[in-house]
Structure 1
Amino acid sequence: MINSTKISYFSLVAYFDTGVFKYLYFMVIMSLYFFIVSANVLLIVVICMNRSLHEPMYLFLCSLFVNELFGSTGLFPFLLVQILSDIHTVSASFCFLQIFCLYTYASVEYLNLAIMSYDRYLAICCPLQYNTRMTSKKIGTLIAITWLYSCFVMVVWLSLATPLQLCGNIIDKVFCAAHSVVKLACSNTSGSNMYGLIVSFGIIFIALNVILYTYLHILRVCFSGSKQTRQKAVSTCTPHLASLLNFSLGASFEILQSRFDMSRVPNMIRILLSLYFLTCPPLFNPVMYGLKMSKIRALSKSLISNVGY
């Protein structure tokens, strides 16, 4: 039985020898990371600098873009180093730090999308009461709760996971994953597993109920309302629904890989599926919102042209 304090590093065995192609992979990953950082930073700056965008919907979007920068930074620089390295190891302390960053990102992303659906519900179903019910104080409270709660549950998980006695240090992934570390434990993991299930179920249950409740009411208003109301609902809800489905799909891939044997699936496919929820939302969301929302699109073009001059 090996105590966790004696495990100084983990080996990531999902990496395979790519030969000279590793430089191509490095350039692809670097380009993706550069695009994610540029697009998300651009939209954060646009929202922060323009008072006309200091509205609930755009402030929640700003929180979403900040979270995507946070999650991407917890993954992409690490991937770039590992791609060029011949030895794919990570220190135990950094592994737990990466788990904290990536799973906090996932929690914030899902809760933020739930809050955005509530905001759209108030705007479409209760337009006359919107400004009184969605105040600046309420916006700040909802964003703060989303981040603080997500950080808190991960700190508690780390306090349960780090003392575990581990019988190995092999992780069959290209990044550190919570379930992969817990599976290495040779001591009793019931507390950590139960806590993880309760927290995951709680976040999914709360967020899913909020989303279903709000969209059922939005659909009801659309069917009974005017053509203008339907057009407003479609224009504001389409990007949100697309973001929600995109992230949920990626998270489902990760949950399936964590809980079921995927050894028959080709290694490259497993890697791509495990990275989906960490790479596609940060790529997809700024493009979707930047192109779909005319206000953001116009102000982004104006900012880019001013910087060019």
Structure 2
Amino acid sequence: MDNVSLITTFFLSGLHETMNYRLALFSFTLLCYCLTLLINVTVIVAIILDKNLHEPMYILLCTFCINALYGTTGFYPKFLWDLLSPVHVISYSGCLVQAYVIYTFACADLSILSVMAYDRYVAICRPLEYHSVMSKQRLIKLVCYSWITPFCIIGTNIFLTSRLKLCSPYITRLFCVNWIIVKLACFPAETTVNNIVAYITIIIYVFHGFFIVWSYMYLIKTCVNSIENRAKFMQTCVPHLTSLLIFLVTILLDIMLIRYGSKDLPQAFRNFTAIEFLVIPPLVNPLIYCFKLSKIRKRIFYVVTIKPT
């Protein structure tokens, strides 16, 4: 049992320099979390209650919102607790669970976005075949793929991390991150398999990104010469493309800071870039879809018993 960690608790040090503003941060964070819950739950309920919205595009949007609730649940409650606590600690098992939830959330987001891109490609480029291609059975398979694949891939990463013997309990972030836990390993040679699996994971999701780019290049090429297709693109693809850009920008900013960021940067700035992919997309994405998709907007107005103007 040499590879079993003796560390039972991790100390999170990301909040130390911002504790003078913790009540203001707590209030703002709680407001963001409540709004995120409210908006995503409203969209989910609207889609479930309205049979006219039981179409692939809206079912995928519902899955997108459910994933947002899942990911934010892995971050907000612990972060809110830390803002009120003088000591920022998390158990070893709790840290692994949090890392698993946050990583699967991010990967599932990209998987769902790739399925959405495929759905829009079929709807606009192959409209006569849409209902046969995007059948109920295939939709179920695609939704299961967008969930099961990240759970299995990230589960493998977390399992390999759990086998490492760690020599430090200090994590310089606001939440648990798998790659930082791996860096705490006592013997770097033991992390070779972890690094290989991590690179394979990155490659898999880079291919997801390439697939989305290819889909949109083909969509744009198809829509250029058709007024009807341009209207479809503006109505249904722009929200999806906006969600994709928000996701990529927030993720890439965090990666760039990790890889090339200076330690002299303010802690508050580093904290913001670390958590923005957990805060901005889950809050903004459903709003974008609500504003752009008239069926969703009308149904939400009906749910809250407000007549649309």
Question: Do these two structures clear the TM 0.5 threshold for a shared fold by scoring above it?
Answer: yes
CA distance in 2, matches of 1:137, 1:83: 45
CA RMSD between the two structures: 1.4
1:191 to 190, 193, 215: 193
2:28 paired residue number: 28
Report if aligned partners of 2:173, 2:271 keep a CA contact under 8 Å in 1: yes
For the residues of structure 2 that align with 1:263 and 1:230, how far apart are their CA atoms? Answer: 46
Q: In 1, distance between residues paired with 2:170 and 2:4?
A: 13
Tell me how far 1:208 sits from its aligned partner: 1.7
Shift of 1:14: 1.2
Equivalent residue number for residue 220 of structure 1: 221
CA positional deviation for 1:167: 1.3
Distance 1:19 1:260, change over 3 A: closer
User: Counterparts of 1:246 and 1:4 in 2: how far apart (Å)?
Assistant: 39
The answer to whether the Cα contact below 8 Å between 2:158 and 2:178 also exists between their aligned partners in 1 is no
Counterpart contact for 1:262–1:270, Cα < 8 Å: no
Contact 1:179 1:258 (C-alpha < 8 Å) held by counterparts: no
Q: Which amino acid aligns with 1:288?
A: I
SS of the residue 2:305 aligns to: helix
Name the SS for the 1:90 alignment partner: strand
Pair 203,191 (structure 1): closer, same or farther in 2 beyond 3 Å: same
CA distance in 1, matches of 2:50, 2:267: 46
SS of 2:11's equivalent? strand
Structure 2 gap segments, 5+ residues each: none
CA distance in 1, matches of 2:210, 2:205: 10
Call closer, same or farther: CA 1:274–1:20 in 2, change over 3 Å.
closer
TM-score between both structures, scaled by the size of structure 1? 0.95
Residue 186 of structure 2 aligns to a residue whose secondary structure is coil
Deviation at 1:261, TM superposition (A): 4.6
Distance in 1 (CA, whole Å) between partners of 2:132 and 2:9 is 53
User: Residue in 2 aligned with 1:64?
Assistant: 64
Name the counterpart of 1:143. 143
| Alignment match, 2:111 | 111
The residue that corresponds to 1:280 in the other structure is 280
1:132 is aligned to: 132
TM-score computed with the length of structure 2 as normaliser: 0.95
Query: Which AA in structure 1 matches 2:219?
Result: I
Q: How many angstroms does 1:19 deviate by?
A: 5.2
- Distance in structure 1 (CA, Å) of the matches to 2:7 and 2:41: 38
Question: 5+ unaligned residues in a row in structure 1: which ranges?
Answer: none
How many Å separate the matches in 1 of 2:19 and 2:115?
Answer: 45
Q: Matches of 2:262 and 2:182 in 1, distance apart? A: 18
CA distance in 2, matches of 1:259, 1:181: 16
